[in-house]
């Protein structure tokens, strides 16, 4: 027991508070806190630290190191994220040096100066002394953090950071500091040497910091268990914008344990008074450690978590949480992920999203989802495990960043396991794939509701299953003519559904949860009747019909005849079976496909009236001649037919195919009235070429047409220069109009439809026609599909026809619609007479290019970001009534980027892009000039033909052409090399300009923040120096 001496040398008792009623009392009391004592000690410590320049110099060093860690690494600009991720990775290591420097003097300095005796004789408890000292250290650390807010200012100058994310991050810094300060303070109570106290502070904090690197020396499973208790692991929630009760409990529990330990270490001076008192207090400390550990462990499994980031970066959708609750068995997820430094910039966000969602899934699942993350590189054993166990291999990605062109081997693979045999593998998570959707669909497939729903793919001539159904009607994937893989659309569906090929026959409701029919216009009559019967039976059906398919040349359009079926060399091709009458399908659905009957009949009437006016302006002799040929009677018959159709269209009655054909036949009859005239007769030419032919062409275009629309939400992708004609229609230009409020269109922003048809409600019976996709309508119309392509003499497509006929018809043209309701009863006993059909006037929306675009995601040079994949998958989910993933699929995670910096380098990118365009244009012009020279030379040779026989001329022509072609090829190679060289120079100049901007941004981001604490340190030093010199004798001042 410590003895306290009075001024006369006699021994006096310690303060009465230690010995009430003459008995020994617990020095760590929890009586009413003496706040004045705590405040006095707090102020004393705080004033001592900031009363000298050294305190500010420490802060200056802390701000400098934190800024350098945040902004100097290459990964900061490579990731292009406006956050402090680079600092977060090393923050515990920085704290490992900074915190002991703050705490080393808390008690060691008191002992060294002998002032500890004074503190302990004051009328306060040991716990109050500890709290006063600790709060002083916390204030010092908090002020240091406030100075480091300059990091946030730097981010604000470079982009638009997520304020919520930064608040959570700094809250995490503070909680980490609270725990490490308490540990460092305990170290200070163990020695009276500042150096030893600093070393002990580092040594005691190091285990919890270094546990984050346990996998370097320990087995993966053991390392994973230990890493969960590292400071870095507990801080990760805060760095992702999540305030977690379990993480707070960890840091506060650790703080309480260490503060109690400090109070115990002070109170050990009393232990000798009572036998066994030391054991008692150590038992208390151990009990407190166990309590803190148990509370943290409990909260890990029953955590309360809140995502405070503005963009909800770590939030799981309500549907995901619901799916986690419904899991009927556990799932283990192994993620094989490349380190951030080995990733292209475009994949850094994908990696961050993946790690964030995996962490959130594990913590929200209540133990149902176990996650293992393997940092994988090609030379590590994890790469071999990934390939041997799951077939996950590195994806080779060619990157052009920071002036470097290289191929990176990237791992972003996932393996899902449930039980012994059930396994599902995602070999590579491309950057455009929604991470939460891919994870939840895989987990729900393994451990969700039992049994997959069944989808029937109705067999047509469209080879979406990979094999042409005409040569492989069962869809088994083999034919003598070879084949191709199925559409990505089918591969995607198979991850969620049981997809089966349907060849026709009787289909009842319940046989399939939904049918998918691609290009039903190619069906033969009996198969078309089977389809109509299935739709009448109430089987939900998705129909994709395209008047002009673009992306897959094997699919024939609505109005094109079926091609002959090839049987191999030397074998005659049999004529194809005729198409069925697809108009029966449109009649059942109550739609007019690709034409508006009112507009079509009115246009017919106007055209005939215009023709009548032109005939009345002819010379009387010609009019009499037409009368004698029976022209006027045929014209009257045509007018009667057209007027009847106009009346029928206005009364919303269905116009049959034969009635439309009747008008066409009447025009042919009108044309034939002048066939008896000479083919060069002016009247015959006028009637046939100037009257009838334009009317027929106009009427044909009123049905055989595709939509065009000049709306373009991606200005960087100029339609003409990127080969996008106006018939490539973007949907999404009219808010509240382009997309219906419907599950199929949930979360859509833009959809790209190539050469679509249009849908028109025939207002039939009780059917409900709900448009799903509409054009913007600002500047749109129709193009004659027969003139869309420019074709060669051999009939091969050579590109878009610049002279194609178009009409301007502004309006919100319908491209997709939902059709439901009852139809007239059918004698078929299988029929429910209730329709549930989604009709899309395009098949290209299912094409592989859109799945590739989704997987690749937008980039700076081709920022196309369309939701075609989301639309078609939502459409199928809505039909099958499987709405588990619609909400999840629609979620968009937006990371705040260095947008201001991006704008500052946009000029350099634009100059490089313009230089490349100018060089390309110059190359084409130079090539054209050389081609013109060659043509002139050939023309000169042609003029010399008269002076030589045919054989000599042909020999000379072949020789000259060969020579000219060689000269042209040589010049073309030279110009191509020059183009590549200059393009490379422009690219290098752009990269150099970006590098310089990055360099200067790093320099001021690191060097400016420490200036303020450094200036304060200098001011405090000279102020203190001046006060020390005040009143001193001049002879004792050095320098005088």
Same domain, residue pair 262 and 196: yes
Q: Predicted confidence band at 795 (pLDDT cuts at 50, 70, 90)?
A: low
* CA dist., res. 626 & res. 613, Å (int): 14
Of 398, 431, 447, the position where a domain reaches its end is 447
The DSSP result for 112-168, as a single string, is HHT-HHHHHHSSS-HHHHHHHHHHHHHHHHHHHHHHTTHHHHHHHHHS---HHHHHH
CATH code of the domain covering residue 323? 3.40.30.10
CATH number of the structural domain spanning residue 557? 3.40.50
Do residues 177 and 81 share a domain? yes
Band of pLDDT at residue 11, cut at 50, 70 and 90? very low
Last residue of a domain, one of 823, 847, 881: 881
137 domain residue, yes or no: yes
Neighbours of 545 (CB within 10 A): 26
Do 637 and 689 lie in a common domain?
Answer: yes
* Domain presence at residue 894: no
**102 and 243 belong to one structural domain:** yes
418 C-beta neighbours (distance < 10 Å), count: 20
| Single residue among 654, 682, 701 that ends a domain in this structure | 701
Per-residue pLDDT reduced to its tens digit, 627-661: 888 888 888 888 898 888 888 888 878 788 788 88
> Could you tell me if residue 155 is inside a domain?
yes
Same domain? For 236 and 355 the reply is no
| pLDDT higher than threshold 70 for residue 913 | no
18 domain-assigned? no
User: 141 and 57, same structural domain?
Assistant: yes
Chain segment 715-737, per-residue pLDDT in tens: 777 766 557 888 999 998 777 78
- What are the pLDDT digits (tens) for 55-104? 788 888 888 999 889 888 887 887 788 889 889 989 999 999 899 988 88
Does any domain span residue 1020? Answer: no
In a domain, 888, yes or no: no
Structural domain including 949 reads 899-1009
User: 412-418 and 422-426 as β-strands: parallel, antiparallel, unpaired?
Assistant: antiparallel
Burial of 804 (0-12, 13-18, 19+ CB in 10 A): middle
Nearest Cα residue to 433 out of 448, 419, 418, 412: 412
Q: Where are the alpha helices (DSSP H) in 617-656?
A: 620-628, 631-650
User: Is 1032 a member of any domain?
Assistant: no
pLDDT digits (tens, 9 = 90+) for 120-178: 666 667 788 888 889 988 998 999 999 989 899 988 888 889 999 999 999 999 999 99
| Same domain (yes/no): 722, 684 | no
- Distance (Å, rounded) from C-alpha 446 to C-alpha 424? 8
Same domain, residue pair 764 and 865: yes
Question: Among residues 706, 732, 726, 725, which one has the least CA distance to residue 865?
Answer: 732
pLDDT at 860: 65
Alpha carbons 534 and 505: distance in angstroms, whole number = 9
Are residues 202 and 58 part of one domain? yes
Predicted confidence band of residue 617 (pLDDT cuts 50, 70, 90): confident
The reported pLDDT for the residue numbered 898 is 82
Q: CA 265 to CA 916: how far, in whole Å?
A: 73
pTM above 0.75, yes or no: yes
Q: Are residues 297 and 322 in the same domain?
A: no
Co-location of 29 and 147 in the same domain:
yes
- Tell me if 347 is assigned to some domain: yes
Mean pLDDT of 768-784: 89
| Chain-centre distance for alpha carbon 775 | 24
* Lowest mean pLDDT, pick from 299-313, 393-407, 554-568: 393-407
Question: Is it the case that residue 554 has pLDDT exceeding 80?
Answer: yes
């Amino acid at each position: 027991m410590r003895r306290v001496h009075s001024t006369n040398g006699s021994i006096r008792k310690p303060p009465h508070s230690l010995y009430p009623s003459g008995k020994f009392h617990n020095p760590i009391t929890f009586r009413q806190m003496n706040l004045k004592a705590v405040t006095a000690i707090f102020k004393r410590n705080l004033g001592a630290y900031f009363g000298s320049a050294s305190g500010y110099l420490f802060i200056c060093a802390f701000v400098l190191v934190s800024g350098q860690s945040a902004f100097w690494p290459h990964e900061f600009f490579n990731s292009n994220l406006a956050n402090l991720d680079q600092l977060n990775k090393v923050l515990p290591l920085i704290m490992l040096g900074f915190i002991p420097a703050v705490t080393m003097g808390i008690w060691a300095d008191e002992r060294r100066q002998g002032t500890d005796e004074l503190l302990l004789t004051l009328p306060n408890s040991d716990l109050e002394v500890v709290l006063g000292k600790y709060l002083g250290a916390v204030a010092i650390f908090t002020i240091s953090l406030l100075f480091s807010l300059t990091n946030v200012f730097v981010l604000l100058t470079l982009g638009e950071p997520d304020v919520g994310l930064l608040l959570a991050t700094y809250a995490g810094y503070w909680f980490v500091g609270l725990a490490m300060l308490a540990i460092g303070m305990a170290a200070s109570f163990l020695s009276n040497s500042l150096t030893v106290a600093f070393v002990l502070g580092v040594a005691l904090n190091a285990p919890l910091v270094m546990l984050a690197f346990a996998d370097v020396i320990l087995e993966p499973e053991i390392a994973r268990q230990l890493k969960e208790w590292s400071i870095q692991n507990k801080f990760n929630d805060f760095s992702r914008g999540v305030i977690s009760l379990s993480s707070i409990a960890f840091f506060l529990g650790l703080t309480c344990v260490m503060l109690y330990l400090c109070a115990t270490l002070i109170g050990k001076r009393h232990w000798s008074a009572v036998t066994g008192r030391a054991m008692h207090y150590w038992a208390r400390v151990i009990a407190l450690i166990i309590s803190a550990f148990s509370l943290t462990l409990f909260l890990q499994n029953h955590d309360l978590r809140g995502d405070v980031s503005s963009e909800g970066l770590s939030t799981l959708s309500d549907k995901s949480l619901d799916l986690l609750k419904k899991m009927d068995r556990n799932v283990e997820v192994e993620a094989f992920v490349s380190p951030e430094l080995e990733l292209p910039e475009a994949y850094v966000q994908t990696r961050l999203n993946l790690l964030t969602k995996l962490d959130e899934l594990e913590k929200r699942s209540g133990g149902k989802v176990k996650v293992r993350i393997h940092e994988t590189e090609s030379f590590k054993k994890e790469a071999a495990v990934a390939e041997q166990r799951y077939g996950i291999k590195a994806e080779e990605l060619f990157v052009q960043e920071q002036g470097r062109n290289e191929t990176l081997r990237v791992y972003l693979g996932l393996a899902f396991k449930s039980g012994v045999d059930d396994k599902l593998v995602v070999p590579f998570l491309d950057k455009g794939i929604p991470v939460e959707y891919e994870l939840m669909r895989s987990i729900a497939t393994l451990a969700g509701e039992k049994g997959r729903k069944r989808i029937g793919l109705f067999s047509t001539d469209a080879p979406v299953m990979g094999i042409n159904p005409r040569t492989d009607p069962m869809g088994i994937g083999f034919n003598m003519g070879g084949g191709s893989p199925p559409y990505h659309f089918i591969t995607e569906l198979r991850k969620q559904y049981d997809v089966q090929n349907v060849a026709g026959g009787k289909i009842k409701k319940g046989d399939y949860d939904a049918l998918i029919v691609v290009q039903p216009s190619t069906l033969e009559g009996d198969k078309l009747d089977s389809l109509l019967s299935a739709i009448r039976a109430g089987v939900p059906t998705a129909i994709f019909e395209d008047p002009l398919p673009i992306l897959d040349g094997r699919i024939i359009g609505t109005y094109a005849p079926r091609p002959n079926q090839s049987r191999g060399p030397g074998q005659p091709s049999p004529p194809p079976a005729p198409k069925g009458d697809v108009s029966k399908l449109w009649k059942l659905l109550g739609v007019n496909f690709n034409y508006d009957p009112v507009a079509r009949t009115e246009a017919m009437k106007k055209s005939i009236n215009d023709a009548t006016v032109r005939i009345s302006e002819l010379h009387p002799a010609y009019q009499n001649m037409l009368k004698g040929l029976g022209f006027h009677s045929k014209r009257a018959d045509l007018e009667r037919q057209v007027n009847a159709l106009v009346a029928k269209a206005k009364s919303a009655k269905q116009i049959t195919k034969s009635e439309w054909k009747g008008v066409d036949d009447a025009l042919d009859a009108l044309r034939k009235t002048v066939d008896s005239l000479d083919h060069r007769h002016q009247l015959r030419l006028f009637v046939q070429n100037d009257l009838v032919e334009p009317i027929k062409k106009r009427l044909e275009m009123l049905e055989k047409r595709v939509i065009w629309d000049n709306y373009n939400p991606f200005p960087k992708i100029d339609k003409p220069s990127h080969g996008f004609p106006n018939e490539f229609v973007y949907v999404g230009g009219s808010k509240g109009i382009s997309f219906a409020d419907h599950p199929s269109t949930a979360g859509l922003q833009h959809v790209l439809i190539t050469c679509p048809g249009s849908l028109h409600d025939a207002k039939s019976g009780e059917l409900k026609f709900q448009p799903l996709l509409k054009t913007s309508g600002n500047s749109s119309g129709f193009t004659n599909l027969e003139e869309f392509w420019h074709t060669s003499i051999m009939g091969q497509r050579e590109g878009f026809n610049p002279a194609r006929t178009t009409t301007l018809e502004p309006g919100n043209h319908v491209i997709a619609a939902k059709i439901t309701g009852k139809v007239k009863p059918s004698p078929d006993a299988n029929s429910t007479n209730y329709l549930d059909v989604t009709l899309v006037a395009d098949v290209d929306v299912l094409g592989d290019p859109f799945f590739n675009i989704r997987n690749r995601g937008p980039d700076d040079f081709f920022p196309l970001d369309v939701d075609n994949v989301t639309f078609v998958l939502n459409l199928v989910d809505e039909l099958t009534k499987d709405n588990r993933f619609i909400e999840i699929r629609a979620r968009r995670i937006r990371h705040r980027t260095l947008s201001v910096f991006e704008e500052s380098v946009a000029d350099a990118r634009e100059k490089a892009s313009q230089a490349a365009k100018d060089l390309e244009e110059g190359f084409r012009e130079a090539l054209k000039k050389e081609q013109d020279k060659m043509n002139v030379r050939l023309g000169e040779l042609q003029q010399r033909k008269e002076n030589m026989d045919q054989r000599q001329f042909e020999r000379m022509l072949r020789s000259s052409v060969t020579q000219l072609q060689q000269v042209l090829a040589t010049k073309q190679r030279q110009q191509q090399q020059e183009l590549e060289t200059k393009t490379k120079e422009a690219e290098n100049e752009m990269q150099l300009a970006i590098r310089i901007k990055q360099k200067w941004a790093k320099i001021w981001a690191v060097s400016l923040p420490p200036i303020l604490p450094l200036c304060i340190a200098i001011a405090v030093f000279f102020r203190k120096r001046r006060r020390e010199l005040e009143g001193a004798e001049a002879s004792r001042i050095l320098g005088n």
